[in-house]
Amino acid sequence: MAKYFRATCAYERTEEIGLCFLRTVAVVEAQPTDLSSDPRVVRLLDEFADVFESPTGIVLDRPISHEIILEVGALSPKGCIYLMSKEELTVLRAQLDDLLDKGWIRPSSSPYGVPVLFVRKKNKDLRICIDYRKLNAQTVKNAGPLPRIDDLLERLGGAKFFSKLDLKSGYHQILIRPQDRYKIAFKTRYGHFEWVVMPFGLTNAPTTFQAAMTNEFRAMLDRFVLVYLDDILVYSRTLEEHLDHLRRVLGTLRRAKFKANRDKCEFVRQELEYLGHFVTPQGISPLSDKIQAVQDWPEPRNVTDVRSFLGLTGYYQRFIKGYLKITGHLFKLQCKDQPFDFGTDARESFLALKAALLSAEVLRTYHPLLPTRITTDASSYGIGVVFEQHDGVDWHPVEYFSKKVSVVHSIDDAHKKELLAFVHALKRWRHFLLGRRHFRWVTHDNPFIFYKSEDTVNNTIARWMTFIDQLDFFPDHIPGKSNRFANALSRHPGHCTAVYSTFEIEDDLWDSFIRGYQADPEFRDKYANCSSPNPTPSHYRIQEGYLLLHSRGKDLLCVPQDSHLRTRLLGEFHDAPATGHFGINRTIGRLRERFWWPGLLDDVTHYCESCEVCRR
């Protein structure tokens, strides 16, 4: 072939020669990353179908139960029964009957008795939430260990198959120590009860749950099982080995009479998310969204945007080499004597600063032994949070996070907005923070202290406080101007559309608003005009489907002529637990700060005058 090729070159013009080399390549199909439908897996799960049944009753012979040890001089927490709607009372009766039938609660004559609230779950159902704030404040904290996440992840080297299990109502499968049950009594309109099993919201519950799981799986830990609270991970090198490991884990759950939630389990995967990391046979990597708040920062469009971005980067300028040189073109954009022109030089500075914030010199990997702090800020536009650790010399960021607050979930009260930012941070970094001792929460407000001292709180605050009480931290108050980085994140230009204060509007009420606007003679034409491609200028506009009226320098949410919606609002602002039955003028003033509808004054007057509590 080579000889023939040389001969061809001698007699033909080489510039016209075209070559094509062919090679036979075996076609390799991509391996599926989810093998849960493999017949062997299906048969195995069917064999252990009883493990996935709903839990009921109690298991008396478990070696681990939950203890509640109170501080010396602790007082028995009590509280008044909150007013409930007809729907809530119906659900309360049904849930109490269900808990009694399962043996998870029993009638009580305890001197303790805290009130019950309701929270609405994602599927719109109501769930009982018990206000254990005062009990948790007097409970001795359990120093039981939680595993180090870096240690857990190191065990996964070489593994190619993974399964993740989640227990169904896991806390309710752990008993309360008999002599402590009276301490968690709660009172309702239908009686005084105490828990036999561990409820949500107790300060030491995560540690107890970890101890129970560790006790059951001790022989398998670090061999083919990892346990971090309610995350049970099974890992193996081969499929056959994994099926055997999974069988042993399911057998352990069966013997211990623990029940798993099949809908939330993931079986025989080669890729899955675990403890904030993406786990694959090729290795482990942090989830990409840890830096998304900075990566997605939009290009500045005006001087305000430039100042916001420089506030973000300036906080860590001591770690960015040549910071002043890089930012020179951006600082020039703030000069008053020249027009705003975000040209090539400014764009290069902007991109260079974003890259610097994500560099190894600034952004660090989480270390379980380093001092940790969470810094939060909440503005009218959104929330901003930064997770930092101290390396012995200075504080470095581990992750950035920001989030726009939607119309229906935005809150004007400073305490509540700051608490919302902290709750988002705890949910995002729960796997890092549960079990840590004394991490810092840096805030320019003091919402935790404020709500701890309140005798009554609304359903949302009660739910958040129940979640927060599971962690061990201390709030650290700093002036707002010193909180530059989180402050900048909360004012991310992508979030800077107006947001509006509302009462707690569930998602299912969104349709009620839309239907109400279309049927209400007052709002029908205005809504249609604002929805059109070329609306006539007016003081009305639509955001996220809601009609807003700009009046007295602020945007007010228009409430259509729907008796259910308006009654909900009147009740929330007059006789909800947190309000204490304000008078007519006070209720009108609070509503007019946020809402508008024709006849608001008359509706408030009629509602307050017909309030049975006020009339007494």
Lowest mean pLDDT among 3-17, 338-352, 597-611: 3-17
Q: How many CA atoms lie within 13 A of 389 on its CB side?
A: 15
Residue 250 has pLDDT above 90, yes or no: yes
Q: What number is the average pLDDT over the span 152-162?
A: 86
Residue 289 has pLDDT above 60, yes or no: no
Residue 9 has pLDDT above 50, yes or no: no
Residue 135 has pLDDT above 80, yes or no: yes
Three-class SS of residue 571?
helix
Q: Which residues, 6 or more positions from 240, have their beta carbon under 8 angstroms from its beta carbon?
A: none
Highest mean pLDDT among 45-54, 366-375, 484-493: 45-54
Residue 156 has pLDDT above 60, yes or no: yes
Q: What is the pLDDT of residue 615?
A: 66
Question: In angstroms, rounded to a whole number, what is the distance separating the alpha carbons of residues 150 and 389?
Answer: 15
Q: What is the pLDDT of residue 512?
A: 77
- 129 by Cβ neighbours in 10 Å (0-12 / 13-18 / 19+) ranks as buried
Residue 470 has pLDDT above 70, yes or no: yes
Q: How many C-beta neighbours within 10 Å does residue 590 have?
A: 16
Check residues 508 and 219 and name the one with the higher pLDDT. Answer: 219
Lowest mean pLDDT among 12-16, 60-64, 77-81: 12-16
What's the chain's average pLDDT? 79
Three-class SS of residue 21?
coil
**Helix ranges (DSSP H) in 149-238:** 149-154, 205-217
| Phi-psi category of residue 612: left, alpha or beta, with phi > 0 → left and psi -120 to 50 → alpha | alpha
Which run of H or E residues covers position 441? strand 439-443
Residue 521 has pLDDT above 80, yes or no: yes
Q: What number is the average pLDDT over the span 247-255?
A: 96
- The answer to whether 137 touches 451, Cβ cutoff 8 Å, is no
pLDDT digits (tens, 9 = 90+) for 315-346: 566 556 677 778 888 888 877 777 888 888 88
pLDDT digits (tens, 9 = 90+) for 488-502: 444 444 443 333 333
Lowest mean pLDDT among 47-61, 92-106, 490-504, 587-601: 490-504
Bridging pattern class, strands 161-165 and 126-130: unpaired
Q: What is the pLDDT of residue 70?
A: 94
> How is residue 563 written in tokens?
């008796």
Q: What is the pLDDT of residue 607?
A: 87
Residue 69 has pLDDT above 70, yes or no: yes
Q: What number is the average pLDDT over the span 302-324?
A: 71
Q: Which residues, 6 or more positions from 457, have their beta carbon under 8 angstroms from its beta carbon?
A: 131, 451, 465, 577, 578
Lowest mean pLDDT among 387-396, 492-501, 505-514: 492-501
Closest among 54, 58, 120, 118 to 88, alpha carbons compared? 118
Q: Helix crossing, 600-609 with 584-592: angle to 10°?
A: 140
pLDDT band at 484 (very low <50, low <70, confident <90, very high): very low
Question: In angstroms, rounded to a whole number, what is the distance separating the alpha carbons of residues 482 and 488?
Answer: 11
Which run of H or E residues covers position 420? helix 414-428
Q: Is the dihedral of CA 377, 383, 387, 393 positive or negative?
A: negative
pLDDT band at 73 (very low <50, low <70, confident <90, very high): confident
Domains contained in the chain, CATH given? 39-67+144-177+201-286 (3.30.70.270), 291-357 (no CATH), 372-495 (3.30.420.10), 509-615 (1.10.340.70)
Q: What number is the average pLDDT over the span 588-608?
A: 88
Lowest mean pLDDT among 322-326, 395-399, 523-527: 322-326
Q: What is the pLDDT of residue 76?
A: 85
Question: In angstroms, rounded to a whole number, what is the distance separating the alpha carbons of residues 130 and 459?
Answer: 10
Q: What is the share, in percent, of the chain residues with pLDDT greater than 90?
A: 27
Q: What is the share, in percent, of the chain residues with pLDDT greater than 70?
A: 77
Question: In angstroms, rounded to a whole number, what is the distance separating the alpha carbons of residues 341 and 163?
Answer: 54
